[in-house]
Amino acid sequence: MILGLGNDLVDIRRIERSLERFGPRFVRRVFTDHEQARAEGRANRAATYAKRFAAKEACSKALGTGVPRNGVHWRHMGVVNRPTGQPTMDLSGGAAERLAAMTPAGMTARIDVTITDEYPQAQVVVIISAVPTGNGPTNT
């Protein structure tokens, strides 16, 4: 059962400008430590940050909150990878609370993420599903 769907499109050049203008302050405010470590090790770190920024926007839409709003903040959502390499979201704080509130009893939330980019655009789609507890990979 699909609980939420969100998508977002980000202009990578906008993130490049934010990195130039605000530098580490922007990075620390928006991205988790894990995301920062991953992006800083990449040749095109701006594209990596742009994809993660779009993922946070798409995830907040799937949660039905927007960001930063209703207790959901940028660093409450982070892109991580399952052992298979598939991207998913790791939620904490207000985002995790919202996910728990929207997940029906006896079900477990699963967050599927697809990420793509073609300079100068990065696009992400997030689908939050509820699966019977004990079936397949989850985000809890």
The verdict on whether residue 112 carries a ligand-binding annotation is: no
Q: Is 57 annotated as a binding residue?
A: yes
Interatomic CA distance for residues 29 and 131, integer angstroms = 33
What are the start-end ranges of the E strands in 1-140? Answer: 2-11, 77-81, 87-91, 107-118, 121-132
Where helices occur in 41-137 by DSSP H, the ranges are: 45-63, 93-102
Torsion of CA 121, 42, 52, 135, to 10 degrees: 120
| Residues 68, 72: Cα–Cα separation, whole Å | 6
Annotated binding site for Mg(2+): 8, 57
Annotated binding site: 8, 57
